[in-house]
């Protein structure tokens, strides 16, 4: 997964996997989802990111470990 903020265009992109984009859909004003040949999500793009994201120049990443139940 890759996160890219472009200050020149004020766009924030979240690339989930490397795949050719077959179709794009603007689900809300300024929120675009790209789909691959298999119909699964490839990436998400937010326009006017600085108006919607508190810190578009930085990122906080958290990896939560899955809890294993003991039965």
Rounded Cα distance between 52 and 62, Å, is 20
Rounded Cα distance between 46 and 31, Å, is 5
Residue 9: CB atoms within 10 A of its CB come to: 12
What is the reported pLDDT for 62?
79
Rounded Cα distance between 41 and 43, Å, is 6
pTM given for the model: 0.77
Per-domain residue ranges for the chain?
2-52
pLDDT along the chain (71 residues), means of 10: 92 95 96 97 96 79 75 60
What is the reported pLDDT for 71?
60
């Amino acid at each position: 997964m890759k996160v890219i903020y472009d200050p020149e265009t004020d766009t924030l992109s979240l690339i989930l996997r490397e795949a050719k984009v077959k179709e794009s859909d603007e689900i809300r004003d300024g929120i675009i989802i790209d789909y691959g040949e298999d119909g699964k999500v490839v990436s998400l793009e937010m326009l006017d990111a600085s108006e919607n994201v508190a810190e578009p120049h930085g990122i906080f990443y958290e990896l939560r470990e899955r809890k294993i139940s003991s039965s």
